[in-house]
Structure 1
């Protein structure tokens, strides 16, 4: 020991990737199928299209494709991973974890793998898990793959406007690894309110209401959502997340280069920029061509920003997630140099 205080290791996103199934369904088609005007969904949500998984295409298939793109962007191989954390509400099966399916598909034999169940906040919860794991490891590969993926199309009631109008399928991923100070993740926070778990859920298929002829007949295996309650939650939580994150980091909202939110309703989320103290161009909105892809929404928007706008070294980026549970969380980071 030389008497100097140890420099705390920083962690940053070193590569992002996303994947959307090939079939793209216009909102006009969905609106007409529900007996509505062709522009009904787009007018209310801003969603123009969503993508739908093909027959036999499972969550792990979408996740693996996104993961490979993130690894390529980071210049890494599957063997460089020490951990895979996957957020989803629509796993391949109730067990084992979909992350284990992805680990096998990638050939990432040195990586531990598990799922997190935080609905649309799953990617942010996964980032917190990744940083915690990285901080305790010695001698393990110092990279974590965090994935968000959903195949919501298998869990929709086509006649339910509150859900069928919004949800789509897709996956996105990011690789987390070491970064030199002052770059990397500067602050994180998570929250939950389990008393409102009933606001949005898939009520059947678990241990409380196992699959039966009755649960199938009652459409218990589809997403049920109190649209009014969820809208109220979004309007409250997004500005609050931005305030809490910037206060924690000692910066002003105006100093953020980008805010990447979950976007279940892109039009609604974009309308909250002013209330959150942001200019419209600070907010990354990318849900108009994918709909709500749950745990993949936020990392998809981040990957979209990387691919289309680019994020420069030193830019301050805030990720703001929220979803069923109810759950929420944020990650504030200083973007590292040399990002692909």
Structure 2
């Protein structure tokens, strides 16, 4: 696909570029037809309102860290690197193995890493966008040279399986990318440097009671269940998406027509379609995985990136736009030259 429009200029040289991608999904598939045996719902109702047909569910004893490790190893293999080449892990999750220590250090131990730093980011469905921006900033300051950025979730563990408005929406999985300090074009077809070009992060705690988990160690001494005011989240999500995407495009000096691929958070196909229309992004440029994965929160964007990279859609040099919105509310967008 073509690069940026003539006469337009991207912002300063990216600090880090994506050199590897990977993903991991539990084996168990839970279809809408199977859900109909658990709660009062229907396949038509779920598909028409969300676009979801199935999702993956973690097995007993399969933790967020297990999925994260598998995705990380696949991303490292894809990059032609080993754990010894990594000096930073930033892991986005709302479903950690433990209250503490972080799931990132569990992954660090599983990978056999003895150096560097590892920590979690908690921004729910926006977590991967937050984590990617954080890792890029740390690479820009020289704190790290190569980073694993992971989004991993086992949302099935915090669902109320009697609540048909929420249990049909979510699934489990993990995705990861390897970021590397960037100083060259690295094969970009346009000759411009590959990597993270611009990002925009937002939050507004006034909406924290619209999408939340009703438990926690300090408040209830329990894990709790996910609760959501669906219509309010739906309405907010479209405006939030447009807000941060337009901000990122303005920073980069591009328009929607310059985008090669739009990889949004996979929460709801109606939200994705409406956002793309408002932004003027061709539907053929939208990467969709929500039908088979459901909403995997922080894992959804890297899972979609991994699939679209593996099947050859996203190619080196493509301009890729990522965006997400989640509980908090948090929302954000990142523009990457692949």
**Structure 1 contact 32–38 (Cα < 8 Å) conserved:** no
Superposition map of 1:1-340 within 5 A: 10-137=15-142, 142-179=145-182, 180-181=184-185, 182-211=193-222, 221-335=224-338
Q: Could you tell me which residue of structure 1 aligns to residue 190 of structure 2?
A: none
Deviations 1:111-135 (A, max 9, x none): 3100011111111111111112112
Distance 1:279 1:318 in 2: 13
Query: For the residues of structure 2 that align with 1:40 and 1:185, how far apart are their CA atoms?
Result: 38
Moved over 6 A (4+): none
Report the TM-score when normalising by structure 2. 0.91
What is the distance in 2 between the residues matched to 1:40 and 1:30?
12
1:94 to partner: Cα distance: 0.2
Contact map agreement 2:14 2:194 (CA 8 A) in 1: no
Counterparts of 1:41 and 1:31 in 2: how far apart (Å)?
Answer: 10
Using a 3 Å threshold, how does the CA distance of structure 1 residues 176 and 40 change in structure 2: closer, same or farther?
Answer: same
Deviation string, structure 1 residues 31-85 (Cα, Å, up to 9, x no partner): 3421223432122211111000000111000100010000000111001111000
RMSD: 1.6
Give the count of matched residue pairs. Answer: 319
Deviations 1:297-319 (A, max 9, x none): 11111111101233223211111
Structure 1 distance, partners of 2:54, 2:14, is 41
Tell me if structure 2 keeps the 8 A contact 1:157–1:164. Answer: yes
Query: Please, which runs of 5 or more residues in structure 2 have no aligned partner?
Result: 1-11, 186-192
Distance of 2:226 and 2:306 partners within structure 1: 27
Check whether the contact 1:150–1:294 (CA below 8 A) recurs between aligned residues: yes
The whole-number CA distance in structure 2 between the counterparts of 1:137 and 1:235 is 36
Secondary structure of the residue that 1:13 maps to in structure 2?
Answer: strand
Secondary structure of residue in 2 paired with 1:320: strand
Q: Quick one: distance in 1 between partners of 2:53 and 2:219?
A: 37
C-alpha deviation, 1:8, in angstroms: 5.3
Q: Is the Cα–Cα contact under 8 Å of residues 200 and 244 in structure 2 kept in the other structure?
A: no
Measured in 2, the distance between the counterparts of 1:277 and 1:245 equals 15
- Choose 155-164 or 58-67, whichever is displaced more: 155-164
Aligned counterparts of 1:38 and 1:126: Cα–Cα separation in 2: 34
